[in-house]
Structures are given as structure tokens and as C-alpha cells.
Structure 1
Amino acid sequence: MTAVLTPPPPRATRRAGRATRPVVVELRRGLGPWTGLAVLLTLLVTMYGKAPGWQGRWADATNTLHVAAGLLAGPLALAAGCWQGGRDRRRGTLDLWESAARPPLRRLFVAVAPSALWPAAGALLADAVCLLATWPYAAGGRPFLELLAADAVAVAALGALGHVVGRAVRWRLTAPLLGIVGYVALGVGAYGQGSARWLGPAAEHQFLWDRPVWWFGPVSMAWTAGLALSALLAAGLRPARRRLLALVPLAVAVAAAGLILRLPPDEGPWRPDPALARPLCDDGVPQVCLTAVDARLLPEVSAALAPLNAHLKGIPGAPVRWVGGPFGPPRPGDVELPNAAADAVRGRLPRPDLYLNAAASWLLSDTCRPGDGTGPDAERTSVVNLAVIEWLAPTPEDYGPDTTAARPYIDRLRAKPAAAQRDYLARYLAANTCRPEEVPIP
């Protein structure tokens, strides 16, 4: 007997067969792709408007992406998921969809896939674009990828929860109202004061030399994904007794929330990173010391302070070090620097003249107790202080206070010989400006 060999189906037929899988069909149609695009564009436009502030440091980029994803992408996914969830009810095809020869839970997971996966994909793509834009300018540290992954899971979970609400509630205005309520709730949670704010996906953190504890990212994923999965199981399982399985992911979510709630209210999951907080100093006099996370800024800050350091070098009472960072208890002769990270743009110091003037102002400012700094000489002392700052570090013409009253003192200081200038500066640094009668007049 001769065997008859059946030829394999053409490649185009095989490809078409694979493309007709239900989850692929659901991902390609409806609101899902547009939701992912909307999330992507929303995050990119928001990040583009703030690019000068975050593009120079991994911590700033991660923090800004985290807040934008929580406050903008989250409510958008919630509203879009709700609208997608009510699609079959609006079209009158809900009975047809439920009559398909598949288990109810499988049908629900197929239906919810666009609401969850597309917003998460949009958020992850925006993360990748922004991190690539940060890479040429960032110095120390690394992006906290585990937190960005947790943000994507949170966005997907919000999309899934919105889908469940859309299937259960018939009102057409549910989707926009749910998005508004979600935005308000996430915003209030993000800017709260207790430990509960770390449960939300938009809690902000400011310190550049910290890192999150290793378990926070996975636990945050368990918290948000557990809530969403519990809602899906409760909505999709039949008969009702099987809905008890929804308690399993709910228990995981509650356990994860318990761990997060035990975090300190202020610091949350963030701890100092010794590698990022270690001081890097130049060899100038006085020294300029910044943290390792701002290593790229050190040459520019040193150059900006060079004119002021030339005046202070060798003067009794002058600072020994300019410090900017968490270097522990200050040593004798340490003077705090203005925040160079706040003034930097893409790892550069755009206005060295402003930074120099701010450093001189910080050096010559005193914290007076109530009742100090008063008396008949108080106004004159304030004018003399302004004159000394302008002499050491002139304020740029397009910035700063009116120096007309201090002009005579400024001219006197500039007209003095170098030795007389150094003698006056030593006497001024030794005086207590909170006692106006002790301040020497130029």
C-alpha cells in the first residue's frame, strides 16, 4: 500500500491561524492600542516639559517617571479600562461573548488583556525613552528599574480594576468619573504624611543619594497585582463558591500592604547609599566637596567658586571646605553649599555667576535668635552685608536686589589695596552680624 503524504499548510495559512487566537484579536482591536499610545504620549510630553530638571541624574529621572506614571498614566488606564470593560454591554454583544465555549474566567482574562497590557506597555516604552535620554548626562548611581517595573504593574492593575468596574456598572459616565476620582485619590495619597502614602504608585522622594530597600519593588508589585487579580477572580469565577479563590491573591495583597505600612512615614523605603553619598573633593583652598552622584558637577562648581575662593584663601575665619551633601556632622570650618543639583541642567551649571552669588550669601548669612539683629545700627549692618556680598560675588544685572544703597561701601572695598581688603574681610568674618554694633564699616 502506498502511503499518501499530506503536504503541510502554506506558511500564510499557518500565520493566519496563529493570528486568530482570541487574546491576539482582543489586543489588536478596541481601545487598548489607543490607550497605550495615550499613556506613552502623556508621559513623554510631561517628561519633555521637565527635562532640564531630571535629565542629568538617574534618581531624578526615576522619581519623575514614577510620579508621572502614578498621577497621569494610572487614572488614564483606570478610565480607559472602565470604558473597554463596558464595550460589549454597549454593543449588545455580552450574551454572545458569554456563550463562547471557554471557561468564564478565561474569557474575562482575554477581555481584560487590552485594558491591562497596553497601558503598561506604554509606560514601559516611555521609561525606556527617558532613561536613554538620561544616559549621556548621568554620572553616579543607576536607574531603579525595579521601581519602574512596579509602576508598570500598578498601571496594569488599575486598567484591570477599571475593566471590572466597567463590566459591572452600566452608566456611560462611569469611565470619566472613575478617572477623575482615581486622579484625586492617587494625588491625595501621594502627598500624605503617613506610611500609607507608600502604598500608592506616585509617592515622591527627593534625596539623590538614597536607594530603595531591595524588597520594596517586588512587594509593591504583589500589593497592586494582588488587588487586581482578586477583583478579576471575584468577577469571573462561576459558580459563586469558587469565588473563594479570590481570597488567595487578596491575602497576598494584604500581607504586602502590611510590610509597606511598617516603613517609616518620612523615609519610607529609602536608605542612604554610601557609594552615592561619599564626598568627592577638589584640591582647592578652600576645598569644594560634592557627593559622588554629582561628580560631573564638581569641576564646574569649583570653577564657579574660584573668584570667591581667591578672596578667602588664607583669611582667618574663612571656610576650610565647601560641602554639599550628607557628610555627617560638620567639621570645624565646613560651610554648606547651595544645592548645585537643583541649579544644574543636564549635568551642567548654566549660571555660574548666580551660583557664586548664592554661595557668598550663604557664607555671610547668620541665623539670629529672636531679638538679635535690632537696634540703631541694624539697617546699616544690612547694607554693609549686601555690600560685602556684592564685592565678593557681584549679582548678575538681570537678577538680585537693588544695590544702590550699598554702592558707596562697594566702591570703598574695591578701592582698597589688597592687604587692606584682606584685613577688612578677616574682621568682618570674625564679627557677629546678629550684633550690628560689632560689624565693621568699610
Structure 2
Amino acid sequence: MGHLTRAVFRAELRRGIAPWVAPAMALTIVVPMISKAAQWQGSWGETQGLLHSLTTLIGGPLAAAAGCWQGGRDHRRRTVGLSLSVPRSRAAQLVMAALPVAVWAVVGHLVAVAGVLAASWPYTGAGGPSVGMIVLDAWFPVCAVFTGFVVGRVWRWRLAAPVLAAATYLVLGIPSYSSSDLRFLNPAEQYYLADQVPVAWFVPVMVLWTGAPVLALVIGYAVRRRFLAVVPLVVAALLAPLIVSSGEDLFREDPVAEKLICTEAVPQVCVGGLDGPLLSPASDALAGLVSRLEGVPGAPVRYVQTSDSRRLPPDTSRLPYTSRGWTVVRDRIADPAGYAWETAHFLTERDCPESVTEGVEEDPATVRVRETDDAVVHWLAPWGSSRLDPAQGAVYLNRLTAMGDTERRAWLGRYLATRTSCDPKAVPAL
């Protein structure tokens, strides 16, 4: 019997729709990935986040349709009676017919994943892909195939497969627009993995949650003791509150991302641990700004990539936020001059409460400070056309430019000493 089962399984692997599922699944994932390569190459998290979305939202309906088509094969061939005459149980027949499609779906998915990860690897820094997410994503097409197979067996209509694909896409896609934590029950929820990793129990819990309803469906269709379908449904009911209550806590900060990688030269340029390849481009982009601040008292000794400048010490300034596909493409800063300008802007940014600035926007002293800040930014990092007010800001820039090196360094030193001050009287005049 074992030899016969293996022979049947090998035959099913080689014939019908099953072998075509692998290239279809691979192309379904790879083609959209290629079109968005600039947005994910260089980040394991961005790469796997997009892989997850494509595998579930696009690959899932494809797998369900393939399973449905396979399930309706006997009805199309009018060989249902012949299948029932075979001594194998309905469950065994189901597994022998659906499993080959699921296997090829997983093969296609893994081929796509391997190719995409290989394309991202040359541009990545520390860290690595999450094996758990790969397993979870590979599991979903298996569940989709078996679900589609049962639907194909029950729903005797030639257009059942494409209709099921469309319905699956809607069922998976619509919940992603919700802001409720119930959306995390959706296996196709789009996860933000750029600097996060799943908690330890996330993958096994989601594997059970995704597979339990499918197992219940298969048991209800193919097993004589259909009441056993209650068991996986109970498991799913127990897991659902855990997933919903956890919500955003299903993921934690990637410890690698929290570490800083810095240049040895002073002033140091520091980026997050996952963005190590950006260290050299960032240093090159800031070379002009650093040169202009050389010898200035109070100039930053460190430039750090962070989202919260309030936690930085006085001798440290903030680097701009980078977004792959926009400001960074394959570990190259798309606009170095703009990057330097934004860094200079952060250096002169005053975190003043609204109670200080509200109602005094046109106060001459406040305007003078704002235009002085803009003139310093433009002198440190010129970028594009001048954005200075020609009546005052441009005058300040001309005065700063006309100063001798010694005089300018002294004035900048006094200016930087007040860069966190909200008192206009404290800011030195140009």
C-alpha cells in the first residue's frame, strides 16, 4: 500500500495543473517585487514585509484557485463514481490530490523568496531574514490550496476557481484597511518589519490560527466523524483573543536596529545597526557641512540617526530620516545636498512650545531669529534655489558669507550656544 501511495503521489506531482502552480506562484511574487525593487533592496524587514503581502494577498488567491480547479477535476471528467469505487478513504483521496498542488505552491514561493533575498543581500547591513516569517508565508498557500480543493469538490461550477480567487482577495484585502486590532486575525495583514521582528510565539500561534479553520473544513468534508472538526475550531477560538489582545505587541523592536554604527573620525556620523551601508554615503554627503563647522565652538561632535531629537545630548545633532525608494535607493542617498540641508536644519531647529511662538509670528524679534536660522542653514548646506526672504534672510546670509573665517567661527560659536533657546534676545544678531 505504501508503494502504491508513493506512486500515486508522484503521478499527481507530474500531471495536471500541479506542476504549473510553482512557476505561476514564483512569477506572481517576483514580478511585483521587481517593480518595487528600490523600496526594499537593502532592508531585510522591508523585503520580507513586501514578500508577506504579495504571498498572502496575491499568491493566496492563486493557490486557492489552483486547489479549487484540482478539486473540481473529477466533476469535469465525470469520474466521481470511479473515485468512489477506489478502496481509499475520502480523506486519503483528498490528501493525494491536493497535496501535490500545495507542494508546488510552496516550491514556487520558496524559489521566489530565495531570489528576492539574494537580490537584497548585497545592499543589506547587519541582521538577517526572519526564518519564522518564511515558514509562516510558505504555510499560507498550503492552507489556501486545501481550502480551495474542498470548495472545488462541493461547488460544481467551471467558473468556481476564478470566482473563489476574487472572493479570497477581497476577504483578505478588506480587513487591512481597518484600524481595529481585529485586523491582526487576518493572515494577510501587512506587517511593518523595517525595524521590528516577531515575538517568539508569533509564528507557531499564527500557523495554528491559520491552519485550524482549514483543518476543520477538511475534517467536516472528508472524515466520517465530522464532530472532530470542533477540535481545531476550539483551538482557533482560544488563539483569537491572544492575537487580538496583543495587537501591535506581536512585534518587538529589532535589537540590531537599536544599536548604533559610527565612524571613527570626529565628528562621528552614526546610523542604526540595520543601516550600516549608509554610513559612508552619509559621511560623504555631510563633508561640506562638517568642513564649514570645523573649529567652531559648540559644533556637534556626533550626528545620530534617531526619531527623537529631545533625547540627544547637547553636543549631538540629528540626522534625517531615510526612506528606501525615496531618499535612499540601494544604499545610495538620492539627494546628498538635500540630506545635508536637512541635517543643517535639524542643527538649527528650536523646539519651542506653542505658548512661546503663538501670537508672535510677526514679532520683529521672532522673525529675525527665524531668518537668522534660515541663513545659517543655507550657508552650512546650500541646496537648490534660495528659500530666504530677500528683504532680510538674504541680507543675513550675505553678512555671514562676508565675514572672515575667524570672525565667522566666533559668531557661529555664540549662535550654536543658543540653538535650543526660545528667547530671541539670546540669539546673536547678524
TM-score interval, normalised by the smaller of the two chains: 0.7 to 0.9
Is the 1:70–1:202 Cα contact (8 Å) retained in structure 2?
A: yes
Q: CA offsets per residue over residues 49-103 of structure 1, 9 Å max, x none?
A: 1222222122222222112212211122223322332232233222222322211
Is the 1:432–1:439 Cα contact (8 Å) retained in structure 2?
A: no
1:152 matched to 2:138: yes
- Mapped to 2, the partners of 1:207 and 1:412 lie a distance apart of 48
Is the 2:48–2:193 Cα contact (8 Å) retained in structure 1?
A: no
Q: CA offsets per residue over residues 156-182 of structure 1, 9 Å max, x none?
A: 101211221222223444433332232
- The aligned counterpart of 1:323 is 304
- The aligned counterpart of 2:381 is 393
List alignment gaps of at least 5 residues for structure 1: 1-16
Question: Please, which of 168, 171, 174 is the counterpart of residue 182 of structure 1?
Answer: 168
Which amino acid in 2 is paired with 1:250?
L
Counterparts of residues 249-260 of structure 1 (less than 5 Å): 249-260=232-243
List alignment gaps of at least 5 residues for structure 2: none
Is the 1:373–1:434 Cα contact (8 Å) retained in structure 2?
A: no
Which amino acid in 1 is paired with 2:229?
A
Counterparts of residues 331-410 of structure 1 (less than 5 Å): 331-340=313-322, 342=324, 343-368=327-352, 369=354, 371=358, 374-377=361-364, 383-395=371-383, 397=384, 405=390, 407-410=394-397
Q: CA deviation at 1:140?
A: 0.5
- Mapped to 2, the partners of 1:432 and 1:259 lie a distance apart of 45
1:103 matched to 2:86: no
Query: Structure 2 vs 1, CA of residues 130 and 441 (structure 1 numbering), >3 Å: closer, same or farther?
Result: same
- The aligned counterpart of 1:413 is 400
1:27 matched to 2:8: no
Q: CA deviation at 1:149?
A: 0.9
SS in 1 for 2:270: strand
- Mapped to 2, the partners of 1:159 and 1:42 lie a distance apart of 16
Which amino acid in 1 is paired with 2:335?
R
- Mapped to 2, the partners of 1:275 and 1:110 lie a distance apart of 44
SS in 2 for 1:271: strand
Comparing 157-166 with 344-353, greater Cα deviation is found at 344-353
- The aligned counterpart of 2:153 is 167
Is the 1:32–1:118 Cα contact (8 Å) retained in structure 2?
A: yes
SS in 1 for 2:409: helix
Number of residues paired by the alignment? 418
Question: Please, which of 42, 52, 56 is the counterpart of residue 70 of structure 1?
Answer: 56
Is the 2:351–2:420 Cα contact (8 Å) retained in structure 1?
A: no
Is the 1:199–1:257 Cα contact (8 Å) retained in structure 2?
A: yes
Question: Please, which of 60, 65, 74 is the counterpart of residue 79 of structure 1?
Answer: 65
Is the 2:297–2:410 Cα contact (8 Å) retained in structure 1?
A: no
Is the 1:85–1:167 Cα contact (8 Å) retained in structure 2?
A: yes
Query: Structure 2 vs 1, CA of residues 82 and 19 (structure 1 numbering), >3 Å: closer, same or farther?
Result: closer
Q: CA deviation at 1:153?
A: 0.3
Q: CA deviation at 1:307?
A: 1.9
- Mapped to 2, the partners of 1:107 and 1:347 lie a distance apart of 51
Which amino acid in 2 is paired with 1:133?
A
Query: Structure 2 vs 1, CA of residues 432 and 279 (structure 1 numbering), >3 Å: closer, same or farther?
Result: closer
Q: CA offsets per residue over residues 174-207 of structure 1, 9 Å max, x none?
A: 4333322322332233343343333333333435
Q: CA deviation at 1:18?
A: 7.9
Q: Output the aligned Cα RMSD.
A: 3.1
TM-score relative to the length of structure 1: 0.83
- Mapped to 2, the partners of 1:363 and 1:153 lie a distance apart of 48
TM-score relative to the length of structure 2: 0.85
- The aligned counterpart of 1:13 is none
Query: Structure 2 vs 1, CA of residues 421 and 114 (structure 1 numbering), >3 Å: closer, same or farther?
Result: same
SS in 1 for 2:333: coil
Q: CA deviation at 1:251?
A: 3.3
